[in-house]
Amino acid sequence: MKLSNFGFNLPPELLAEYPSENRDEARLMVLNRKEQTIEHKLFKDIIDYFDEDDVLILNNTKVFPARLYGNKEKTGARIEVFLLRELNEEQRLWDVLVDPARKIRIGNKLYFGDDDALVAEVIDNTTSRGRTLRFLYDGSYTEFRRKLQELGETPLPKYIKREVEPEDEERYQTIYAKKEGAVAAPTAGLHFSKHLLKRLEIKGVNFAEVTLHVGLGTFNPVEVEDLSKHKMDSEEVTIAKAAVETVNEAIQNKKRVCAVGTTAMRAIESSVSSNGLLNEIDGWTNKFIFPPYDFSIANCMITNFHTPKSTLLMMVSAFAGHDFIMKAYEEAVKEKYKFYSYGDAMLII
């Protein structure tokens, strides 16, 4: 498979700037791999596809307000700082992206907040836009993190052209988000309402929570025609014993095991035992899944509609079959499904 196999024409009006008014009333396209059929439903209808002791694997990462705006010392130029990951808690070192990057050099200081309450010094260049910052703040670590929360804004994807609204803080977060560390939401999970999760629970469906802190690497464009040469950025992943036991029991009992989103799928496929069961993990993954690929854990997947030529589309294509997924995307465009983070959903069984 080559990069050019994953292009398609996406009309700009199909990019979702806002989510459905009710989370679980987004549209749902259901793909049956065995029958090669496509059905059109609402997201809340997924309950009809699950039975007692089936398992939904949820990524419980929580998005933090990773986008800050500061001013450069002396010139006062406005600089966007995107927090990627914390490198050292004690020294308050962070891996960040800056924009415009050409203005930001080692030794520069950036000031944040109306009262310049937070200052950061650039101590290293990592990539063309990447920098290492040391934050200078008088208070305790807890107060420092609180200040970051206060000054940061929800990191909506760049293709959403409107301004960030206060409501985005809640709507760009899954209702089961617990462990802070992602710079982007695991968007397939945005469709679940508390009511729908409760109905699934009453039906006897089990939930296994994993954590994969979504980084910007997920969205990095693939720039090589030969997919085997593309390198994914590493993302932090944790799968604890409770999730492993829930998932493995379902596999052994031949139940439906459904990865909610590409991030949950990447997490579980990063920790597979030699006999095809799930292992515990607490580390990092840079796994890149593209066709052909044999999946070991999940036999079902919930996902959104993805960008042409993205690593996310490649993974979904490996799971559903390339020709089938491209046919489904053609139909999604024709039927005016909404794409990307706030868009509609797909269930692949």
| pLDDT score of 116 | 79
Report, as ranges of residue numbers, the positions in the chain whose pLDDT lies below 70. none
pLDDT of residue 242: 98
Strand order in the sheet with 300-304: 37-42, 27-32, 345-348, 300-304, 257-260, 55-59, 206-212, 235-239, 281-285
| pLDDT of the residue at 221 | 83
**Total-model pTM:** 0.92
* Helical segments of 136-203, H only: 141-151, 168-171, 194-202
pLDDT tens profile 232-281: 988 999 999 999 999 999 999 999 999 999 999 999 999 999 999 999 99
Residue 157's pLDDT is 83
pLDDT for 306 = 95
* pLDDT of 311: 94
Structure confidence at residue 305 (pLDDT): 97
